[in-house]
Amino acid sequence: MKDPFVLAGREYRSRLIVGTGKYPSFAETRRAVEASGAEIVTVAVRRVNITDPAKENLLDHLPLDRFTILPNTAGCYTAEDAIRTCRLAREAGVGTLVKLEVIGDEKTLFPDIPATIEAARVLVREGFQVLPYITD
């Protein structure tokens, strides 16, 4: 592989990371992700059913042998919420690589940088690889 993208010790051919929100169905989500060529797929943990195995789940449509699932903390307004959400993702079996978002402004969705840093420190100590969503 020429010039691979290396993230958290893993090599990828594609540098594209695709989101899974806003699609009308899980099947369409999978088709879009496959068509994109992306190998990393970000998933809002709050929008994924991880508690009821009887219900359909987005993760059932994204084979873990083909895609790295990048759980994100979209919708979290506190460091504590974001930390809990990452822990849930880890317990659900999607790993420790996470996209960390702590919302600071409800209107613009700009991040709360101090809360994001606080959450990142805790998560890194717990063995997570953190991709923070922050501005300068």
Chain position carrying tokens 């209107």: 107
Strand partners, 42: 19, 70
| Sign of the C-alpha dihedral computed for residues 41, 13, 127 and 80 taken in this order | negative
* Token pair for 108: 């613009």
Asked if 70 and 102 touch (Cβ cutoff 8 Å), the reply is no
Catalytic residues: 99
Report the chain's C-alpha Rg in angstroms: 15
Residue 69 burial (C-beta neighbours within 10 Å; 0-12, 13-18, 19+): buried
**Strand duo 68-72 + 40-44: pairing:** parallel
